[in-house]
Amino acid sequence: MSQDTSNDSTGKLRYDAERSISLVDADVQNPGIEGVRSKVSLTREAARAISITALETIREGARFMGVVGTRGELLNPFGHIDAAIWSESDVPEYMIETAYEYCEELTRVEAGNFYHSFKYLPSEARQAICAYYAFCRRADDIADGDYVDSFPGGSSENPESVEYREHIERLTGSSPVVARDHYDDRMSQLFYYRKKLSSAYGQVTSTDPIFIALKDTIRRYNIPRQLLDDMISGMEDDFHRNRYETFEDLYSYCYRVASTVGLVCIEIYGYSELEAREFSEAWGIFMQLTNIIRDVAEDAERDRIYLPMEDLRRYGISEDDVKSGAKLLNHPGWKPFVEEYIEKAESYRDKAFKLLPLLDRQARYSPAAMMAFYESILKKIGKKDGDVFTERVQLSKAEKISLAAYVYARYRFLAL
């Protein structure tokens, strides 16, 4: 599509109104990067569509309604459709049910521990949580792995995708922290993923089963788009930043990739007081801080240091020290740094546990189990004086079973 780069009376660039991403006055409505991100949308005019009724003729052919193949592998029931959206606005109920089945199977296969905590939820809430988990998992797979998401007609060379990347890169004020070809590919994938998300809030519906189920979940639980957009933004941030100077900087990142998850989950769980939102935000911060300290070694191997640099410097710890792996255990500042870090993480843990009494009783086990698992991991790191280098700190199967049984008894049957 053509681009008009002439300036209007306010000095801002204007773009063709037919573009499915419009950046007109984005910096007024939503400042900077968030303005660009918020304008990404998928429209009927900009995407190829397929009629739902047309599928009736091929339904008997290619195992259309199956989500598990003959070898037990996960199958996208709509994967053979070479179109981004349905031409009809309403998706038949049987297709929504199949989309939920796909998300639940994805969750069961790729997140056994989380799925265990989800399966005791009421069926409608369980389906919704699995749809949301599938959305988060695929975004993470795109950003942090080799997963290639399908978006018919989309590519990293598409002018829309190029323009989006250029805007984001310019507004960050720095070059990508990954190789250029990797940056272009992954950012393009997330751009189209964000387009699919827009369909969950718009008049069109994606042919991706994750977004079919997610759209139904959003409708049922009135989940704000900003929370889901922010999560994708957190994934994008990893391509522009691999150091965090202050804890406040790190907090913003943790909020995007983790607190937003908790805030969406409680909308599905149901809660009695608005304070639940504050405690849910703390829940995400606690879990992400635990992930960060546990994964220091593998992150450093990828030239990523999420630990606040100014806090490390107070203990005489340099970037090279963090990258040295197990040698860091001999640094006199590492143990006291870890003690302070764990104390800070535990302050968010204590706040997070205040969330549980505010949730519907049937939903408490799910977050309680996740909190308990992460609390145990953090305690192990403390007992090992911060040794996250010799081996990965994790819970054994016996520890998980024992802890899950305790949490189940406490939060499903006993009064808090």
Is 272:201 a contact under the CB 8 Å cutoff? no
CATH 1.10.600.10 domain residues, the chain: 242-416
CATH architecture of 242-416: Orthogonal Bundle (1.10)
Q: For position 100, what pLDDT does the model report?
A: 96
- Helices 123-144 & 209-221 angle (0-180, nearest 10): 130
Is 39:23 a contact under the CB 8 Å cutoff? yes
Q: For position 27, what pLDDT does the model report?
A: 39
Work out the pLDDT band at 413, boundaries 50, 70, 90.
Answer: low
Q: Give which of 294, 339, 298, 297 is closest to 315, Cα–Cα.
A: 339
pLDDT at 24 over 80: no
Q: Is 198 helix (H, G, I), strand (E, B) or coil?
A: helix
pLDDT in tens, 160-180: 999 999 999 999 888 899 999
Residue 163 carries which side chain, given as an amino acid letter? E
Is 101:126 a contact under the CB 8 Å cutoff? no
Q: What are phi and psi of 305, to 5 degrees?
A: -125, 110
Is 262:280 a contact under the CB 8 Å cutoff? yes
Work out the pLDDT band at 57, boundaries 50, 70, 90.
Answer: low
Is 128:99 a contact under the CB 8 Å cutoff? no
Q: Is 7 helix (H, G, I), strand (E, B) or coil?
A: strand
pLDDT in tens, 72-93: 678 888 888 888 988 887 899 9
Alpha-helix residue ranges (DSSP H) falling in 119-255: 123-144, 159-172, 180-199, 209-221, 225-237, 247-254
pLDDT in tens, 232-256: 999 999 999 999 999 999 999 999 9
Work out the pLDDT band at 66, boundaries 50, 70, 90.
Answer: low
pLDDT at 384 over 50: yes
Give the whole-angstrom CA distance, residue 224 versus residue 228. 8
* Percentage of the chain modeled with pLDDT above 70: 87
Q: Residue written as tokens 């007081």?
A: 273
Tell me which H or E stretch contains 86: strand 85-86
Structural tokens at position 189:
């994938």
| pTM of the predicted protein model | 0.87
Structural tokens at position 295:
């994964």
Count of CB atoms situated within 10 Å of the CB of 129: 26
Q: For position 12, what pLDDT does the model report?
A: 27
The region of weakest confidence among 18-22, 34-38, 39-43, 339-343 is 18-22
pLDDT at 355 over 90: yes
Q: For position 173, what pLDDT does the model report?
A: 85
What Å distances lie between residue 195 and 122, 184, 207, CA to CA?
30, 16, 12
Q: Which residue has the higher pLDDT, 65 or 222?
A: 222
Q: What are phi and psi of 243, to 5 degrees?
A: -140, 150
Q: Which residue has the higher pLDDT, 113 or 414?
A: 113
Give the whole-angstrom CA distance, residue 214 versus residue 339. 40
Rounded to an integer, the average pLDDT of 391-398 is 91
- The DSSP secondary structure of 357-399, one letter per residue, reads GGB-GGGSHHHHHHHHHHHHHHHHHHHTTT--SSS-----HHH
Averaged pLDDT of the chain: 87
pLDDT in tens, 207-233: 999 999 999 999 999 999 999 999 999
Q: Which residues lie closer than 8 Å to 105 by C-beta, 6 or more apart?
A: 67, 68, 74
